[in-house]
């Protein structure tokens, strides 16, 4: 059976023969100036100050940026542009598309580039294979739960509980007190599920995913118990199934306006929440562990900046100038201030917002898990299937074991 990644790579090869993987920017540059195109995963509001600082430092390179929000829309936008021969000169290689991009020969090997020095090997290797490194990942992230300290105090808690049963008890108390207790965006892989899987896998040798992809185990065997526990949020009436209609920004805004006590979140919400409600008393915590388990968090090395392997040599050199600046102390500082990411370069120590401080230790210890990073193949297809089937579960259409069984079926296709 030919895998989807192989078919995707073949399609890219065919597209490159007909029109080439040229950048979408064209000629007409002023003398001494090279224009490169850049598809950004980070939003325009956050990225524009970074690009302005780069342009000031390097007027000889002009960056034409376009934007697509993560995760599904970005992956689809990039894939469409790659297949149509209009891939940008610089783009993001992520958990959900790394296999496809590497197999297709669409990304340049960066492993010998000076700008990779001083970056944590964990981050570079996340987007590599067989010693090659295809993405410049300058930070790591973790997602857990953001919570309203005052709402928790109202029902007798000063922090999140450590176990899932206790957490569900807290949610019921918040609901009884008249609060919306919890919201989680499920338009992508739920933070709760990723964290629970990570906690389980951290206690296994071989890991959970090594067992699944070797054929020793299955998604149904490894995921069903966790999905059963996660689904209690909905079967016990603590969260409405209407959550499937909410995206991450809507969930964040509900929290910032103090209409919900706890949400799934990462550092990317900090600036927006504090701007909307500077007086709110809030903090972060890990996802509570299952019985005999430990609290954990979803997370990974942040997506890496990649250079289009089929851009012409001049644009590749300009792209390397861009990545060199992004990896510099000045570039990392600019990006960290805009995003609150926990950066991992040797020459800059980020100042962490106090509300996110509880998450920093696990990030630096590498206690992070994201299924799409751990999956060994077909991560794009499996991710789409997992999200779609979990939404069906949340709406009461299928059982948790059926979600896992659907992933086994997809893996075997």
Q: Which domains, ranges and CATH numbers included, belong to the chain? A: 34-136+303-340 (3.40.190.10), 151-300+368-412 (3.40.190.10)
pTM of the model: 0.76
Helical (H) or strand (E) element with 264: strand 262-265
Query: 151-160, pLDDT tens digit by residue?
Result: 999 999 999 9
Please state, in angstroms and rounded to a whole number, the distance separating the CA atoms of residues 211 and 156: 42
Query: 25-36, pLDDT tens digit by residue?
Result: 444 566 789 999
Query: 272-281, pLDDT tens digit by residue?
Result: 999 999 999 9
Copy the structure tokens of residue 3: 């895998």
pLDDT of residue 145: 98
Query: 290-299, pLDDT tens digit by residue?
Result: 987 789 999 9
Query: 346-387, pLDDT tens digit by residue?
Result: 999 888 899 999 998 888 777 899 999 899 889 889 999 999
> What counts of helices (H) and strands (E) characterise the chain?
18, 12
Please state, in angstroms and rounded to a whole number, the distance separating the CA atoms of residues 318 and 36: 7
Please state, in angstroms and rounded to a whole number, the distance separating the CA atoms of residues 105 and 9: 8
- What is the average per-residue pLDDT within 212-238? 98
Q: Is the dihedral of CA 227, 232, 237, 239 positive or negative?
A: negative
Copy the structure tokens of residue 394: 């949340």
């Amino acid at each position: 059976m030919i895998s989807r990644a192989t078919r995707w790579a073949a399609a890219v090869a065919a597209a490159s023969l007909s029109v080439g993987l040229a950048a979408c920017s064209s000629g007409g540059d002023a003398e001494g100036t090279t224009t490169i195109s850049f598809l950004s995963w980070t939003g325009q509001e956050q990225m524009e100050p970074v690009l302005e600082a780069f342009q000031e430092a390097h007027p000889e390179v002009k960056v034409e940026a376009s934007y697509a929000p993560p995760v599904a829309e970005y992956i689809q936008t990039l894939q469409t542009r790659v297949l149509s021969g209009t891939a940008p000169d610089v783009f993001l290689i992520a958990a959900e598309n790394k296999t496809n991009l590497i197999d297709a020969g669409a990304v340049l090997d960066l492993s010998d580039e000076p700008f990779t020095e001083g970056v944590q090997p964990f981050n570079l290797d996340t987007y590599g294979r067989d010693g090659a490194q295809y993405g410049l990942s300058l930070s790591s992230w973790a997602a857990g739960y953001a919570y309203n300290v005052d709402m928790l105090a109202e029902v007798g808690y000063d922090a999140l509980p450590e176990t899932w049963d206790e957490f569900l008890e807290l949610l019921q108390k918040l609901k009884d007190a008249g609060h919306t207790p919890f919201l989680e965006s499920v338009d992508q892989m739920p933070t709760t599920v990723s964290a629970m899987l990570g906690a389980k896998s951290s206690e296994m040798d071989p890991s959970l995913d090594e067992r699944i992809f070797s054929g020793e185990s299955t998604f149904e065997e490894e995921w069903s118990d966790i999905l059963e526990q996660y689904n209690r949020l909905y079967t016990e009436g603590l969260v409405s199934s209407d959550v499937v209609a909410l995206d991450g920004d809507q969930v964040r805004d509900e929290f910032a306006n103090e209409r919900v006590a706890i949400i799934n979140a990462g550092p990317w919400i900090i600036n927006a929440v504090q701007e909307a409600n500077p007086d709110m008393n809030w903090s972060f915590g890990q996802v509570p562990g299952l019985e005999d388990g430990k609290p954990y968090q979803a997370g990974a090395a942040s997506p890496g900046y990649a250079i289009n392997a089929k851009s012409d040599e001049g644009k590749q050199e300009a792209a390397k100038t861009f990545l060199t600046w992004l990896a510099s102390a000045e570039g990392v500082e600019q990006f960290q201030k805009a995003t609150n990411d926990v950066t991992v370069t040797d020459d800059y120590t980020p100042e962490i917002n106090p509300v996110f401080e509880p998450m920093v230790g696990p990030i630096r210890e590498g206690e992070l898990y994201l299924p799409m990073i751990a999956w060994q193949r077909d991560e794009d297809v499996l991710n789409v299937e997992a999200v779609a089937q979990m939404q069906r579960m949340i709406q009461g259409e299928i059982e948790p074991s059926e979600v896992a069984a659907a992933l086994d079926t997809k893996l075997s296709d």
